[in-house]
């Protein structure tokens, strides 16, 4: 196999050690805010709608439900803390794409891709409008997104979408010696402070009348008519309708147990850049950036000019569990640090303040699926595969449309009406996921050429292009 730029120009061990030596294990975003608290549910309660899950999917559903019908009584239950999982750990890329990129959507739903692209932009505009309407302090920047090629075979891929930038143009926009070309999409992505978005959505939901309860783990949903949502500790919520927004965590519906797997993603956050360091890298457009490999990096500037640098490694652990011990993986953080300074060698000496990880709810089609159960009384969405910052609002609307029994462009789309292929049970799941990851790595080192396994998965609808 060949090498990539990150191996040809590997950072020295001394630079990596210096950069990582004082990092704190934990999400910068959650450390950067004062976290509000809500009381657990201690007694039985009745409501029109109960939402299980206090991440973006649940919070958007709560806000949108009350906006549609202010008289509707809504209760939201969170097993731990609001926004503590993926919603407080992601990169803060709020993308218009609902399909994990144009190519993934084109392969799966070519006949309705124009519709999905339009619905995605309308959804992003709706998020921006919500932020403005409620005065949400979330560090919102509609900055756009820059996709970059770091290997020669990736250059042609970037000519199909957005504004193409040749080597001189892309390096003028952001000063990295690794960039060979770029594709700039100016209106399809915003960057946001993830934890602030979660807590501001909770604030807005509360002001609209939603009852929020933390440390209220749901153990079961029962009932053939009205639903009973049972909470660890003994309390029960009696509700006409239920939304399940548990995403990466085991579904309360048996039919969805094999639909997603938790894949661990890793990220670093730097200390704030000095004026001289910021000038050394350019980046005046403040775009979110991602490169074009299968194992790709994503990075962006924070409001105080730190750089978040994440991605590349995507680790699945046998058994498909979500466990805190999986979040500490020194080899992944060292690799990210090395790739960071290959990307920006002029920043050598900069330190990272935080390192963290989180589990992504990955499904085989790489974008969310939505559905109903129990005679239309229970709605669910999961499988966002890293797109949840924006796509959770769209999913919330689909779920609420379905619970209301109304037909909309959203609910009529094939994307919203179909389900992905489930993952096999263990040990086949671990074998398959890790074989795919190895094959993607091999393709990145072989001018993008996909082997027989990846071509077969493409043919059956389980393939993926980043």
- Give per-residue pLDDT as tens, 94-126: 999 999 988 899 989 999 999 999 999 999 999
Low-confidence ranges of the chain (pLDDT < 70): 1, 458-466
Q: What pTM did the predictor assign? A: 0.95
Maximum Cα–Cα distance across the chain = 64
Residue 76 tokens read as 């939201």
Rg (CA), the chain: 22
Listed residue (292, 271, 265) closest to 388, CA to CA: 265
What local confidence, expressed as pLDDT, does residue 112 receive? 97
What local confidence, expressed as pLDDT, does residue 466 receive? 42
What local confidence, expressed as pLDDT, does residue 337 receive? 98
What local confidence, expressed as pLDDT, does residue 105 receive? 93
> Given CA atoms 275, 277, 281, 286 in this order, what sign does their dihedral have?
negative
Residue 12 tokens read as 């020295």
What local confidence, expressed as pLDDT, does residue 438 receive? 82
What local confidence, expressed as pLDDT, does residue 461 receive? 63
The CB density around residue 3, as the number of other CB atoms within 10 Å, is 11
Total count of residues recorded for the chain: 466
The rounded distance, in Å, linking the Cα atoms of 73 and 256 is: 27
Strand, helix or coil for residue 463: coil
Instruction: Compute the mean pLDDT over every residue in the chain, rounded to the nearest whole number.
Output: 95
The rounded distance, in Å, linking the Cα atoms of 82 and 204 is: 13
Strand, helix or coil for residue 299: strand
The rounded distance, in Å, linking the Cα atoms of 166 and 158 is: 10
pLDDT in tens, 432-450: 888 888 887 788 888 777 7
The rounded distance, in Å, linking the Cα atoms of 207 and 74 is: 12
- Those residues whose C-beta lies under 8 Å from the C-beta of residue 194, and which sit 6 or more positions away, are 29, 83, 87, 88, 89, 90, 91, 92, 389
The CB density around residue 345, as the number of other CB atoms within 10 Å, is 15
What local confidence, expressed as pLDDT, does residue 463 receive? 59
CA angle (189 as vertex; 187, 192 as ends), nearest 5: 130
pLDDT in tens, 360-410: 999 999 999 999 999 999 999 999 999 999 999 999 999 999 999 999 999
């Amino acid at each position: 196999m060949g090498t990539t730029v990150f191996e040809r120009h590997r950072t020295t061990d001394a630079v990596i050690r210096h950069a990582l030596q004082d990092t704190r294990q934990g999400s910068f975003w959650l450390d950067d805010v004062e976290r509000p608290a809500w009381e657990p549910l201690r007694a039985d309660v009745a409501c029109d709608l109960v939402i299980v899950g206090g991440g973006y999917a649940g919070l958007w559903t709560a806000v949108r439900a009350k906006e549609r019908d202010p008289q509707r009584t809504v209760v939201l239950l969170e097993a731990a803390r609001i926004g503590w999982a993926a919603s407080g750990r992601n990169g803060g890329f709020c993308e218009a794409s609902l399909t994990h990129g144009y190519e993934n959507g084109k392969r799966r739903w070519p006949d309705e891709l124009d519709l999905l692209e339009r619905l995605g932009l309308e959804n992003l505009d709706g998020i921006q409008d919500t932020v403005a309407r409620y005065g949400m302090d979330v560090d919102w920047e509609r900055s756009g997104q820059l996709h970059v090629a770091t290997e020669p075979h990736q250059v042609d891929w970037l000519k199909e979408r957005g504004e193409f930038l040749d080597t001189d143009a892309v390096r003028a926009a952001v000063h990295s010696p690794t960039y060979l070309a770029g594709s700039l999409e100016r209106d399809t992505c915003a960057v946001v402070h993830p934890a602030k978005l979660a807590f501001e959505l909770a604030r807005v939901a509360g002001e609209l009348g939603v009852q929020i309860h933390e440390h209220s783990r749901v153990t079961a949903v029962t009932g053939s008519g009205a639903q009973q949502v049972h909470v660890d500790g003994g309390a029960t919520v009696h509700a006409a309708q239920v939304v399940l927004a548990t995403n990466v965590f085991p579904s309360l519906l048996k039919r969805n147990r094999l639909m997603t797997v938790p894949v661990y993603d890793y990220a670093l956050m730097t200390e704030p850049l000095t004026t001289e360091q910021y000038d050394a890298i350019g980046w005046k457009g403040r775009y979110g950036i991602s490169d074009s490999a299968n194992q790709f990096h994503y990075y962006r500037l924070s409001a105080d000019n730190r750089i978040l640098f994440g991605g590349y490694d995507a680790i699945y652990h046998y058994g498909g569990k979500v466990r805190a011990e999986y979040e500490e993986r020194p080899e992944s953080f060292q690799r990210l640090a090395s790739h960071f300074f290959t990307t920006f060698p002029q920043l050598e000496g900069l330190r990272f303040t935080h390192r963290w990880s989180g589990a992504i709810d990955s499904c085989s089609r790489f974008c969310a699926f939505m559905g109903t159960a129990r005679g239309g009384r229970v709605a669910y969405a999961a499988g966002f595969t890293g797109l949840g910052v924006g796509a959770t609002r769209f999913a919330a609307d689909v779920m609420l449309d379905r619970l209301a029994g109304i037909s909309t462009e959203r609910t009529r789309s094939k994307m919203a009406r179909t389900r992905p292929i489930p993952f096999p049970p263990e040990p086949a799941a671990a074998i398959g996921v890790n074989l795919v990851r190895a094959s993607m790595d091999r393709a990145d080192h072989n001018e993008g050429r996909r082997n027989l396994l990846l071509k077969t998965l493409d043919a059956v609808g389980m393939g993926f292009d980043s």
